[in-house]
Amino acid sequence: MSHSVRITGTGSYLPKKVLTNKDLEKFLDTTEEWIFSRSGIRQRHIAAEGEFTSDLAEVASREALKSAGRQASDVDLIVVATTTADQVFPSTACLLQNRLDIHGCPAFDVQAVCAGFLYALDVAYRYVVTGASRCALVVGAETFSRILNWEDRSTCVLFGDGAGAMLLEAADTPGILSSHIHADGAFKDLLCVPVGVSTAYQELLDGRAYTEMQGKEVFRWAVSTLGDAVIEILESNGIHQSEIDWLVPHQANIRIINAIAKRLELSMDQVVVTIDQHGNTSAASVPLAFDVAVKDGRIKSGDKIIFEAFGGGFTWGSMLVQI
């Protein structure tokens, strides 16, 4: 049986420690002005020593459950999007399941880097829409600071840590209207951590698994690919851009966000921007931004929203949702 799928709860968490651009100036050959003008970032949050992705995910999840008026025992599916799992295994979703004292329901991670949350939402949406799940917990959580080379100014200034969560539930009224995810592994070398368990385990153990990015190329592809992605979602739903109330984009670079808003002919007042405060939190960025705009009252019931994200792989996705 097919249901509508609504977002019934939302939550987020940011580690306490804030690292400003000024702080970065103290140990990197960079300036507040360069970082802000090239990326739109002013500060990012950094997980404390001993604070892990599952810790961030747990707080965001509990908040999402609370905002939906649900108990953990109502959850029958857990999908966690992360690039920075606590352990090689079990999955962060299983660790989270244990923290929440949930037993028996499927729990798994998905890995699509910065597009990870849209991948996780897509999967959970398809479970709920087909009736295989009635209440799905979807989380994007990252301690991205752990896979950065803090001596590489071209990457480390861009990222931060955080988590966001949503609860998806079967409903009678429309919620998620359509979801589209894509990948093209031909671009695997432009944005990557080039080592892993199978290829270079010692580097992993030594903490030398760092993010590498050809920024200019990634920027160019992100703008053109996401531009096409938002047009795809409008066309497949037969709606005009003037019907969109909000764009909640992945927060990688304010100049990419501006370009996509322009493509949709949206004013920046209709775009949720958190990059100045959060930096790029990878899979956590979309649910974090959504939670901010729900909490401050900008996003209201009935609003039509586009989520979009682009990340390593390349991977990308978009979703149209009525709140």
Site for ligand ACO in 228-287 (CB under 6 A): 252-253, 256, 280, 282
Backbone angles phi, psi at 128, to 5 degrees: -75, -40
At closest approach, how far in Å is the CB of 18 from ligand ACO? Answer: 18
Piece of 103-111, 128-136, 153-161, 168-176 that binds ligand ACO (CB under 6 A) = 153-161
Which of 32, 232 has the CB closer to ligand ACO? 32
Please identify every residue annotated as catalytic: 114, 250, 280
Which position among 25, 32, 34, 231 is part of the footprint of ligand ACO (CB under 6 A)? 34
State the minimum distance, in angstroms, from the CB of residue 292 to ligand ACO.
19
Q: Which amino acid is at 80?
A: V
CA distances to 144, 260, 263, 283, 284 from 141, rounded to whole Å, are: 9, 24, 29, 6, 5
Q: How many beta carbons lie within 10 A of that of residue 132, not counting itself?
A: 13
Interface map 96-135 toward ligand ACO (x if CB under 6 A)? -----------------xx---------------------
Q: Among residues 294, 8, 291, 10, which one has the least CA distance to residue 170?
A: 8
The whole-angstrom separation of Cα 266 and Cα 109 is: 33
Site string for ligand ACO, 52-91 (x = CB under 6 A): ----------------------------------------
User: Which H or E element spans position 137?
Assistant: strand 135-142
Q: Cis omega before residue 27 (within 30°)?
A: no
Question: According to CB under 6 A, which one of 93, 218, 230, 264 is a site residue for ligand ACO?
Answer: 218
- The torsion angles phi and psi of 157, rounded to 5 degrees, stand at -75, -10
Site of interaction with ligand ACO (CB under 6 A): 30, 34-35, 38-39, 113-114, 153-154, 157, 191, 215-216, 218-219, 222, 252-253, 256, 280, 282, 310-312
